[in-house]
Structure 1
Amino acid sequence: MNLLPARRCLALLALAAPLFLLSSAAAFAVNALILLAAALDAARVPRARLRVARTFPRQLPLDGEADVTLVFESSAPGPVRLRATDDLPPTLTRLGEPDIEVLLPPRGRATRTYRVRAAERGTATAGDIHLRALGPLGLVWRQWREPCPQTVQIQPGLQDVRRHRLLAQRHRLRDAGLRAVRERGEGTAFESMRDYIPGDDPRRIDWKATARRATTTVRQFEAERSQNVLLAIDAGRLMTERIGGRERLDYALSAALLMADVASLQGDRVGAFVFADRIQQFIPPTRAPLTRLADAFARVEGRLAEPDYPGAFAYLAKALRRRSLLVLFTDVIDARASAALLSHLNAAKRRHLPLVVTLRNTALEDTAELPAATEADVFRRGAAEELLQARAHALAAMQRAGVLVADARPRDAIPAVVNRYLEVKRRGLL
């Protein structure tokens, strides 16, 4: 049990201090009375009659905000003034004042709400609630902690999925740089017949239907459904680099989750594969996998190790038998590593359609454009240009080998990946 003097107690002690100039005995007596009153005040704090509970969301999107509610209850016959401080993990940022103060009525309850922002991906655990109750005389704060362990899973990409769905409902996908999810007349799967419109491809005229209906009729197509999409995510060293306050891996996971949602809407089966120097997770392609993927992505562990491409592709060769769109989120900067990756992609092309998604390092690009004012600037700029050139050569080699590539700035990753996927569907490449 901890006791802290309240302002009233300190004020009384300060007022009693001049008595030492007149009579030390009187001063000691007055101070003793004040301290005795404070002790009695502390003893009368109805700790056993006070309760607090926290309502916490179970899931929270990365960079998203949510309400946390504290419910205070008192069975004491008199009013009680309380102060509460919540023990939050570093991955949750509290918005507003850190302390909550509440005056509980006799045998009453009160509710207070504050907001938090999710700052890091993963599982966050909120700890104890630290309470202070003021004694009835207002002389002493009695403080203690109420155990209230609760966990919240911070999931990357959920906010982007919700925004995409809202834009789709409002027919405003192009505002976010995204194409419509389904466009009739494109793809390879027959959908319906309709009357010819000037500008239609003459190769799609159905002459038998035209003769039967006595009007020019064209076949209308849509993208194939029930195809496999596997989101392979490199969680190795290069993906842990921070760009714009977030790991490159976070951008990749967000783009992957939104692509999974779009692919599910297209009727495709979606799975995920996460690896670094070892295999972390494999989720076989299934329908409507969003909840499972969001949960899995929250538990992804970025590792300061080089990705084991041979082990990863060997695992996929056994686990992924059906032809799939293999979307690999990674980065290339080392010539030897990119050459090894290309050899494995070429082998995977025999069964699958690989699409490599890379995220640019905007800080490195800015460094390469620095004015060379000093000798140090010249070296920094030269090193950045060399790294960017090696990266460009690696991506060009993949494209020459027939590998699809989507290279984008981190904040543009979502439209780049989704639009490339829709292009694959529209052209019937899979």
Structure 2
Amino acid sequence: MRRIFKHTYLRQRFFIVLITIVLGFLASFMVKDVFGAFKILFYLFVLLLIIDLLLLYGSKGQLVGKRLVPDKLSNGDENQIEIELSNEYLFPIGVKIIDEIPFQFQKRDFGLQSHLVSAESKSYAYTLRPTERGVYSFGNLNVFASSPIGLIARKYTFDNAHEVPVYPSFLQLRKYDLMAFTNRLFQYGLKKIRRIGHTMEFEQIKEYIPGDDIRNINWKATAKKNQLMVNQYQDEKSQPIYSVIDKGRVMKMPFEGLNLLDYAINATLVISNIAIKKHDKAGMFAFSNKVENRVVAERRSSQMNLILETLYNLQTNFVESDFGRLYVDIKRNIGQRSLLLLYTNFETLDALHRQMGYLQAIAKQHLLVVIFFENTELTSFAEKKAENVRQIFEQTIAEKFVYEKKLIVNELQKHGIQTLLTKPENLTINTINKYLEIKARGLL
């Protein structure tokens, strides 16, 4: 009996009926003729309560449920969580679902309500968008079932408590993996890059078909075959592509829930996968006051899993990044000319000038692309209409910082360093465009 009451909850309808009966009894002291009627109502209420208890606890039926969670969640994306319920009662029931989702989401009013007829099974789905990597703990799945009478509800607890890791955005990786090798590229913002000439990597001699570049006609083969033959070239393969992630304090700045480090991590995962699919070698490393989290550029089958696990454990620290140590490490450990995609952030020209010497030294040996971020909040603030003198002053300061970002781009380009200034949310697509542009123009 104690167990029954422990899992029984009084519904709002119960209190409404009970309060109505109590008020009726109080009113009957003034109007004697209605006392008998309310007495009958009270006995009927008790009878219905007993029947409700018997329906939920005395019958053989029950409610069966479970939560379906992916093995891992994708950071910064909407991840679908499913709840499956089956009504094994002989009558329809109402259900209220309260799922104990991880505390990181700070959703304290989460709940779903529905109805299930007898022998019916239903699936309910909701989405969660994590903004931090790490382990997330789900609690129990609590479901309250009520009969058609609806005075009480029986609590079912499905012990699905378990932990789920949140990894860098593998959903984004799958999306761009499909886009990069279909004809739907341009629908998602990928630019069509005009190919300048061709690379020097020869693939084969083939028969000429309309549309082939007539400059590639192989006259010796044409004479032997007595038909037009052309040389076919392909992009140079097995070029090392390194994502270099600054994990110093400048990458802690948040935008739309994610900090800049996580935007860089998600972009690194995608560009590494595309580089491998394009037959290049993908690698990565991170730095702040020292260089670590290194994955040597390779094109083996296990490379993406290795990069994913390394990115999962990457965390920002609050120290000043040492570009001098970065230069020494690159010179010592990367002998072959490589494409270095450096994810960092510069807010002022002074910050850039302190590191310019090291960036120039790196760019002499490798193709360096400095990728940094627009401050979208400052840009939005600067574009608002000012309503008083104070706002005019604040917007003037904001415009100065926005303009200084453009000066940083010009300063880097003046020294022959490739540059990409992007909004955080457009980082991945713009990085892909930059990589494809470099490959098309044979810059590496």
Give the alignment of 1:16-415 within 5 angstroms: 16-17=21-22, 18-22=24-28, 45-46=56-57, 50-62=63-75, 64-72=77-85, 81-89=94-102, 98-103=111-116, 105=118, 108=119, 110-123=121-134, 124-134=136-146, 138-143=150-155, 145-168=157-180, 170-179=182-191, 186-193=198-205, 195=208, 208-209=220-221, 219-243=231-255, 246-276=258-288, 281-287=293-299, 289-294=303-308, 296-303=310-317, 305-349=319-363, 351-368=365-382, 374-415=388-429
Q: Aligned-pair distance for 1:267?
A: 0.4
Contact (CA 8 Å) 2:94, 2:113: kept in 1 or not? no
Contact (CA 8 Å) 2:249, 2:316: kept in 1 or not? yes
Greater per-residue strand proportion: 1
Q: Aligned-pair distance for 1:191?
A: 2.0
Moved more, 33-42 or 401-410: 33-42
Partner of 2:3: none
Scaled by the length of structure 2, the TM-score of the pair is 0.76
Give the alignment's Cα RMSD to 1 decimal: 4.4
Structure 2 gaps, min length 5? 1-5
For 2:313 and 2:113, the matched residues in 1 are separated by 32
The letter for the 2-side match of 1:99 is: L
After superposition, the Cα gap between the structure-2 partners of 1:211 and 1:93, relative to the gap in structure 1 and judged at 3 Å, is farther
The letter for the 1-side match of 2:416 is: G
Secondary structure at the aligned position of 2:270 is classed as helix
Partner of 2:14: 9
Identity of aligned residues (%): 23
After superposition, the Cα gap between the structure-2 partners of 1:80 and 1:351, relative to the gap in structure 1 and judged at 3 Å, is same
Deviations 1:139-175 (A, max 9, x none): 3224364332244455554444444344455513233
For 1:206 and 1:157, the matched residues in 2 are separated by 46
Partner of 1:418: 432
Secondary structure at the aligned position of 2:416 is classed as coil
The letter for the 2-side match of 1:255 is: A
Q: Aligned-pair distance for 1:335?
A: 3.7
Q: Aligned-pair distance for 1:370?
A: 5.7
Q: Aligned-pair distance for 1:224?
A: 1.2
The letter for the 1-side match of 2:112 is: D
For 1:256 and 1:62, the matched residues in 2 are separated by 13
Secondary structure at the aligned position of 2:183 is classed as coil
For 1:109 and 1:216, the matched residues in 2 are separated by 69
After superposition, the Cα gap between the structure-2 partners of 1:77 and 1:394, relative to the gap in structure 1 and judged at 3 Å, is closer
Secondary structure at the aligned position of 1:257 is classed as helix
For 1:83 and 1:377, the matched residues in 2 are separated by 49
Q: Aligned-pair distance for 1:422?
A: 2.3
Moved more, 7-16 or 364-373: 364-373
Deviations 1:220-265 (A, max 9, x none): 4222111211111223333333445654444433433332232112
Q: Aligned-pair distance for 1:327?
A: 0.7
For 2:267 and 2:237, the matched residues in 1 are separated by 21
For 1:416 and 1:45, the matched residues in 2 are separated by 58
Scaled by the length of structure 1, the TM-score of the pair is 0.78
The letter for the 1-side match of 2:101 is: L
For 1:406 and 1:272, the matched residues in 2 are separated by 18
The letter for the 2-side match of 1:56 is: V
For 1:137 and 1:366, the matched residues in 2 are separated by 55
The letter for the 2-side match of 1:9 is: F
Contact (CA 8 Å) 2:92, 2:115: kept in 1 or not? no
For 1:312 and 1:268, the matched residues in 2 are separated by 23
Secondary structure at the aligned position of 1:347 is classed as helix
Secondary structure at the aligned position of 1:125 is classed as strand
Q: Aligned-pair distance for 1:119?
A: 4.6
Structure 1 gaps, min length 5? none
Secondary structure at the aligned position of 2:18 is classed as helix
Count of residue pairs brought into register by the alignment: 426
For 1:406 and 1:419, the matched residues in 2 are separated by 10
Moved more, 11-20 or 176-185: 176-185
Contact (CA 8 Å) 1:93, 1:116: kept in 2 or not? no
For 2:209 and 2:67, the matched residues in 1 are separated by 63
After superposition, the Cα gap between the structure-2 partners of 1:36 and 1:215, relative to the gap in structure 1 and judged at 3 Å, is closer
For 2:408 and 2:195, the matched residues in 1 are separated by 34
Contact (CA 8 Å) 1:234, 1:307: kept in 2 or not? yes
